[in-house]
Amino acid sequence: MARNYIDNDTEFVARGSVSVDMILSDGSRVENLEPRRLFPVNYSEKYISLLDADGKEQAIIRDIAALSEQSAAVIRNSLSEYYIIPKITKVIQVYEKGSINRWTVMTDRGKCSFLIKTRYSDIKPFPDGRVLIRDSNDNRYEIPDVSKLDKHSMRELNSQI
Amino acid sequence: MNINGILINKEIPEELFEKLLKVRAEVCESEEKILFAIVGDLTLEANYGTTVFAVTDKRSFTIDEEGKLLCSMLHEHVDKAKVKRMYGNARLIVTDKEGKDIVLFRFTYSVATLCDMAADYLEDMSHGEDAAHAYDAVAAGYEKAMLYCPKCGRRLLHAGAECIACQSKRRIWGKLLRFAKPELPNLILCMLLSLVTTGISMLLPTMTANLVDEVIPSKDMQMLLKVVSVLLSAYLLQLALGIIRSYRLRISATNIVTFLRNSLFAKTQKLSMRFYDKTTTGSVINRVNGDSNTIEQFMIRLSQEVVVQIFTLVGIAVIMTAKNVQLALITLLPIPFIVIGTRVFGKKILPYHRKVWRRWAAVVSNLTDTLPGVRVVKSFSAELRSSGIFSSYTSEWQQVDRKSARISTAFPNFVSFFVHLGQLLIWGIGGAWVIISNLTGTAAASDAIAFAGGTVTLGTLVSFISYASMFYGPVNFFANFNDSYQNALASAERVLDILDAEDEADRGKGNCPEMRGKIEFKNVNFSYDRTKMTLSDINLTIEEGDIVGIVGTTGSGKSTLVNLLMRFYDDYEGKILVDGINIRDIDLSYFRRQIGFVQQESMMFRDTVFNNIAFSNPDATIEEVFSAADIANAHEFIARLPDGYDTLLGERGVGLSGGERQRVSIARTVLMNPRMLIFDEATASVDSETESLIQGAIEGLIKGRTTIMIAHRLSTLRKANKIVVLDKGKILEMGTPEELIAKKGKYYKLIQIQTMAEKAEAEKKEERFE
């Protein structure tokens, strides 16, 4: 099976909120594809798999940045509809008592509060300062760079990371 | 060893040796010489006793301890010779030309391998093989036999190496001290700092004595201020030095334990499979975890406190004697008791340390072995039973620990009781002297002063109390030191068990020949435990690009065959060649990289799917990993996972099915791009639909590579161009599938049974359908 990698000769247009249509360089059209990240954690802009309605992979975008501007916007938009990973901008409170570990945070999508189940496996710091958080309901949150948070947030986080 | 030109496996008394020579002279022709002799440990009636089996170039004979000839046999009469392994003993049996069996020699397994070799020699000689060649094989066998420690029977690293179990304790520590070596400067610095603080604290009681005797009675305010400020600055200095020292010491300790732990882990990765056959993972984990800590703590104690405590001990003794000999003697009175007590205590406590550790290792083993099998436990509703077993282990530990506690907790308390007793003596006798000396002028006072060796002032008394408590610090330390020494010694032995254990043999390090994939087994014999031959007489040639199916019932030696090819076990007899090169002569890790090994249970690491695939080739690019996953039919299901290739395996919520794991592990193998492939029941644990997916994956991988497939389901072998049927460790049949079917042997039977079973199943399905 030869894999179809897309670099820059292909255009995309939005179809639904998540799905897109792909227009190949020869003008043929592949309809109703869903972009998915193959590396949602490590590369948000690279290796985007395009799945058809049956879940079969039709192509892989190597790097969104290589696409034309409009196409890139279409893909980014589709991905941002599919992947909801609120970015935490401020940690208001980390409440810890017994086995309860409740975080109240401000994100780019608004204020929210969630429970952490296991501190050791659900909070994943990366060497570059990024922290990924998974709550007890398997929702994901992201702190793009811990060192850029304000002092209060840092203090609250200190015992968690 | 070699005595007067006779190869012999053990030293025997000279007397017996002479008897042996005498018997030779009686039974043999004059120019015959004994070539080799095996000293056995059983008589022909299976009682313990020395017997000697001797072989010349014409005959073999056995004598007993008294030098009586038990039997003798000319090589030319021998038709077959073999060792029959029984339970706890074995016999060397020869069949003569008339077909009669004669037992030549009886022995325990300690010499069984040598006897195997002797049997080969007898057969070779009777069949007229080259005598020199046969003798060389025997000589090699003797050399190999010397690889065992003559004292305890453990395997040695190389011939003549020192046995780990029999070495002295000094050597044990000598080996472990290298882990402390990089920290030596830091440790010495800490020790010096500690000496300074101790020195200061030794001088302090003298100053307080001065306070009590002179400054306060003389009501000299200025002097008081002076002394107090000197004391204060001394305490401040101690504080500063103490902080620095503790910090640096902690750093050193962490460094030592990290070094030790890393070395231990690195070593566990290099150990042979033999080691893991014998040792439970739990006990290895315990060593990496706990024992390394114990050793580190002990090393720190050894490097720091021993010197400091001795310094304190001597220093205080000197100061006290200088001040007042009599009072010093009183202070020292309980010491002999404590020293004697310590020795007795040490002897009693060591066995307990070992017992406690062993029980604890059993607890940990139970834990590490049961938890992965929790599915099995649940499916049999055996949770209670399983907890019961665990608690029986912990309660065993609890009981032993309780017994050990009775001794180990009482002892320090006794020591401190004696310490207090010593202080009481000082208070009592010294106090009396102070009181009496104050009644100046009386006869009793001058007697007392004379007896006490001078006036005993209140200040002296107070300083002696301080000294005594300081003095008992080191005494207490040395009393408990033995305990921690024994504890650490036990840990050290266990750690060295791993550190000194034999690495996987890698004789051909650096030899990385280009490989094409022709595999040959030549006269391979192998046994896991010296009691039962798991493989015997394996002769097999696999041409480059062959696809070989190995079939046989469970326990027929299929997996063992593969284990030998993977070089998990290196101590087989015979040769395995790849492209004509003995695999033992090839660089081990290079060799293994040439073989893709897919096992029945595919192991996933706690890491992302991507890293799990890239495990076989960490330098692979992302797209190479994608294509490997494609070939393995894995990319599609991975792309559908919410976290894609970033999915962490082994975490809550994310579990791959058996078939998915198998495909990930095949992708891993694909990425490695090996010359040869081994599938050990790769599809045994998945349903037939997944099997066809995996089968597809396998076929994508095989192209042009030499492949060995072990399979129960013969349907998986449809691509094989050669089938080997194993039975009880021997090759029963071998040939193309067509040949074997035409032969109507075992393979034909197996095929028939399976097709019948499949038919029956298909019919059943149809019935249900109707």
Q: Domain for residue B649, yes or no?
A: no
How would residue B194 be classed by pLDDT, with cut points 50, 70 and 90?
A: confident
Q: Domain for residue B101, yes or no?
A: yes
Query: Do residue B363 and residue B445 come from a single domain?
Result: yes
Check residue B506 and give its pLDDT: 74
The dihedrals phi and psi of B270, each to the nearest 5 degrees, come to -95, -10
Q: Domain for residue B641, yes or no?
A: no
Q: Is B673 left (phi over 0), alpha (psi -120 to 50) or beta?
A: left
Query: Do residue B27 and residue B140 come from a single domain?
Result: yes
Check residue B241 and give its pLDDT: 92
Residue B669, Cβ density class (10 Å: 0-12 exposed, 13-18 middle, ≥19 buried):
buried
Q: What is the largest CA-CA distance in chain A?
A: 62
How would residue A2 be classed by pLDDT, with cut points 50, 70 and 90?
A: low
CA distance B645 to chain A (A): 5
- Nearest chain B residue to A1, by CA: B630
Interchain CB contacts (distance < 8 Å): A and B = 44
Query: Do residue B495 and residue B530 come from a single domain?
Result: no
Check residue B403 and give its pLDDT: 87
Query: Do residue B534 and residue B480 come from a single domain?
Result: no
Q: Is the pLDDT of residue A154 over 70?
A: yes
Check residue B155 and give its pLDDT: 59
End-to-end CA distance of chain B: 78
More confident residue, B140 or B560: B560
Residue B88 burial (CB count, 10 A): 10
The whole-number average pLDDT for the span B247-275 is 88
Query: Do residue B495 and residue B526 come from a single domain?
Result: no
Q: Specify the CATH number for the domain of residue B193.
A: 1.20.1560.10
Residue B635: list chain A partners with CB under 8 A. Answer: 57
Q: Which of B623, B646, B648, B654 is the best residue to mutate to test the A interface, defined by the most A CB atoms within 10 Å of its own CB?
A: B646
Q: Is the pLDDT of residue B510 over 90?
A: no
Q: Is the pLDDT of residue B679 over 80?
A: yes
- Nearest chain B residue to A62, by CA: B623
Q: Are B59 and B74 in contact (CB under 8 A)?
A: yes
- Please indicate whether, in this complex, the C-beta atoms of B644 and A38 are within 8 angstroms of each other: yes
- Please indicate whether, in this complex, the C-beta atoms of B644 and A60 are within 8 angstroms of each other: no
Q: Are B446 and B316 in contact (CB under 8 A)?
A: no
Amino acid at B679: F
Q: Which of A1, A38, A84, A137 is the best residue to mutate to test the B interface, defined by the most B CB atoms within 10 Å of its own CB?
A: A38
Q: What is the pLDDT of residues B737-756, one digit of tens each?
A: 888 888 888 888 887 887 77
The whole-number average pLDDT for the span B377-387 is 85
Residue B639: list chain A partners with CB under 8 A. Answer: 36, 38, 49, 51, 57
- Please indicate whether, in this complex, the C-beta atoms of A57 and B653 are within 8 angstroms of each other: no
More confident residue, B712 or B732: B732
Residue A60: list chain B partners with CB under 8 A. Answer: 626
Q: Domain for residue B165, yes or no?
A: no
The whole-number average pLDDT for the span B724-728 is 86
Check residue B449 and give its pLDDT: 64
Strand pairing report for B519-526 and B535-542? antiparallel
Percentage of chain B beyond pLDDT 90 is 4
Task: Mean pLDDT check: name the lowest of A34-43, B271-280, B442-451, B661-670.
Answer: B442-451
Q: Is the pLDDT of residue B394 over 90?
A: yes
Q: Is the pLDDT of residue B653 over 50?
A: no
- Please indicate whether, in this complex, the C-beta atoms of A3 and B630 are within 8 angstroms of each other: yes
Q: Are A35 and A96 in contact (CB under 8 A)?
A: no
CA distance B639 to chain A (A): 6
Q: Domain for residue B647, yes or no?
A: no
State both tokens at B691: 């099997």
Q: Domain for residue B644, yes or no?
A: no
Q: Is B163 left (phi over 0), alpha (psi -120 to 50) or beta?
A: beta
* Calpha distance B614→B669 (Å, rounded): 9
Residue range of the domain that includes B23? 2-145
Q: How high is the mean pLDDT of chain B?
A: 82
Q: Is the pLDDT of residue B448 over 70?
A: no
> Which chain A residues touch B if contact means CB-CB below 8 Å?
1, 3, 5, 36-42, 47, 49, 51, 55-57, 60, 117-118, 121, 138
CA distance B666 to chain A (A): 17
DSSP string, B212-261: IIIITTTT-HHHHHHHHHHHHHHHHHHHHHHHHHHHHHHHHHHHHHHHHH
> Which chain B residues touch A if contact means CB-CB below 8 Å?
608, 610, 622-623, 626-627, 630, 635-636, 638-640, 642-646, 651-653
Residue A49: list chain B partners with CB under 8 A. Answer: 639, 644
Q: Which helix (H) or strand (E) covers residue B188, if one does?
A: helix B184-210
- Please indicate whether, in this complex, the C-beta atoms of A38 and B639 are within 8 angstroms of each other: yes
State both tokens at B612: 């799990």
More confident residue, B644 or B171: B644
- Nearest chain B residue to A35, by CA: B639
Q: How many domains in chain B? A: 3
Residue A79: list chain B partners with CB under 8 A. Answer: none
Q: Are B280 and B467 in contact (CB under 8 A)?
A: no
Check residue B440 and give its pLDDT: 62
CA torsion through residues B263, B268, B269, B271, sign: positive
More confident residue, A63 or B437: A63
Q: Is the pLDDT of residue B158 over 60?
A: no
Closest-CA residue to B591 (of B695, B485, B512): B512
- Please indicate whether, in this complex, the C-beta atoms of B610 and A41 are within 8 angstroms of each other: no
Q: Is the pLDDT of residue B122 over 70?
A: yes
Query: Do residue B278 and residue B370 come from a single domain?
Result: yes
**What angle is formed at CA B317 by the lines to CA B311 and CA B322, rounded to 5 degrees?**
125
How would residue B680 be classed by pLDDT, with cut points 50, 70 and 90?
A: confident
pTM score: 0.66
- Nearest chain A residue to B635, by CA: A57
Q: To 10 degrees, the CA torsion angle through B555, B558, B560, B565?
A: 180
* Calpha distance B378→B374 (Å, rounded): 6
SS3 content of chain A, % helix, strand, coil (to 5): 20, 40, 40
Instruction: Return the bridge partners of B63, or none.
Output: B52, B69
Check residue B453 and give its pLDDT: 62
- Please indicate whether, in this complex, the C-beta atoms of A39 and B646 are within 8 angstroms of each other: yes
Q: Is the pLDDT of residue A25 over 70?
A: yes
Pick from B627, B642, B645: which is nearest to A39 by CB?
B645
More confident residue, B321 or B11: B321
Pick from B636, B642, B646: which is nearest to A42 by CB?
B646
DSSP string, B89-107: -EEEEEEETTS-EEEEEEE
Pick from A37, A55, A121: which is nearest to B644 by CB?
A37
State whether residue A136 is helix, strand or coil: coil
The whole-number average pLDDT for the span A49-77 is 88
**Residue length of chain A:** 161
Check residue B670 and give its pLDDT: 85
Pick from B622, B630, B652: which is nearest to A47 by CB?
B622
Provide the angle, in degrees to the nearest 10, between the axes of the packed helices B622-631 and B688-702: 120
How would residue B147 be classed by pLDDT, with cut points 50, 70 and 90?
A: low
Task: Mean pLDDT check: name the lowest of A67-81, B442-456, B704-718, B734-748.
Answer: B442-456
Check residue B752 and give its pLDDT: 81
Query: Do residue B138 and residue B202 come from a single domain?
Result: no
Task: Mean pLDDT check: name the lowest of A107-111, B163-167, B233-237, B372-376.
Answer: B163-167
- Please indicate whether, in this complex, the C-beta atoms of B636 and A3 are within 8 angstroms of each other: no
State whether residue B141 is helix, strand or coil: helix
Provide the angle, in degrees to the nearest 10, between the axes of the packed helices B658-672 and B622-631: 120
Q: Which helix (H) or strand (E) covers residue A81, if one does?
A: helix A69-82
- Please indicate whether, in this complex, the C-beta atoms of B651 and A57 are within 8 angstroms of each other: no
State both tokens at B324: 């007042």
Check residue B243 and give its pLDDT: 92
Query: Do residue B489 and residue B523 come from a single domain?
Result: no
Q: Is the pLDDT of residue B70 over 50?
A: yes
Q: Which of B645, B654, B693 is the best residue to mutate to test the A interface, defined by the most A CB atoms within 10 Å of its own CB?
A: B645
- Please indicate whether, in this complex, the C-beta atoms of A3 and B622 are within 8 angstroms of each other: no
Task: Mean pLDDT check: name the lowest of A100-104, B291-295, B600-604.
Answer: B600-604
Residue B651: list chain A partners with CB under 8 A. Answer: 121
Q: Are B596 and B678 in contact (CB under 8 A)?
A: yes
Query: Do residue B459 and residue B557 come from a single domain?
Result: no
Pick from B630, B644, B651: which is nearest to A39 by CB?
B644
SS3 content of chain B, % helix, strand, coil (to 5): 60, 15, 25
The whole-number average pLDDT for the span B301-315 is 84
Amino acid at B152: C
- Nearest chain B residue to A43, by CA: B646
Q: What is the pLDDT of residues B553-575, one digit of tens each?
A: 877 888 888 888 888 888 788 88
How would residue B255 be classed by pLDDT, with cut points 50, 70 and 90?
A: very high
Residue A106 burial (CB count, 10 A): 16
Q: Is the pLDDT of residue B173 over 90?
A: no
Percentage of chain B beyond pLDDT 70 is 91
Q: Specify the CATH number for the domain of residue B590.
A: 3.40.50.300
How would residue B232 be classed by pLDDT, with cut points 50, 70 and 90?
A: very high
Query: Do residue B547 and residue B424 come from a single domain?
Result: no
| Residue that finishes a domain, picked among B120, B145, B170 | B145
Q: Is the pLDDT of residue B770 over 80?
A: no
Residue B646: list chain A partners with CB under 8 A. Answer: 38-42
Q: Specify the CATH number for the domain of residue B15.
A: 2.30.29.30
Residue A3: list chain B partners with CB under 8 A. Answer: 623, 626-627, 630
* Calpha distance B437→B347 (Å, rounded): 46
CA distance A63 to chain B (A): 12
Q: Domain for residue B567, yes or no?
A: yes
Q: Which helix (H) or strand (E) covers residue A132, if one does?
A: strand A131-134
Check residue A138 and give its pLDDT: 80
Pick from B622, B623, B643: which is nearest to A41 by CB?
B643
Closest-CA residue to B498 (of B288, B193, B682, B326): B288
* Calpha distance B505→B501 (Å, rounded): 11
Instruction: Return the bridge partners of B710, or none.
Output: B550, B680
Spell out the residues 6+ positions from residue B575 whose beta carbon is closer than 8 angstroms to its own. Answer: B520, B521, B522, B523, B524, B582
Provide the angle, in degrees to the nearest 10, between the axes of the packed helices B335-370 and B383-425: 170
Q: What is the pLDDT of residues B481-497, one digit of tens each?
A: 777 787 788 788 888 87
Instruction: Return the bridge partners of A33, or none.
Output: A20
Check residue B239 and give its pLDDT: 92
Q: Domain for residue B603, yes or no?
A: no
Query: Do residue B415 and residue B491 come from a single domain?
Result: yes
Residue B643: list chain A partners with CB under 8 A. Answer: 40-41
CA distance B183 to chain A (A): 29
Q: Which of A41, A83, A130, A136 is the best residue to mutate to test the B interface, defined by the most B CB atoms within 10 Å of its own CB?
A: A41
The dihedrals phi and psi of B322, each to the nearest 5 degrees, come to -65, -35
Query: Do residue B464 and residue B533 come from a single domain?
Result: no
Residue B670: list chain A partners with CB under 8 A. Answer: none
Q: Which residue has the tokens 């077909």?
A: B99
- Please indicate whether, in this complex, the C-beta atoms of B644 and A51 are within 8 angstroms of each other: no
Q: Which residue has the tokens 């072995």?
A: B369
- Nearest chain B residue to A84, by CA: B642
The whole-number average pLDDT for the span B118-146 is 81
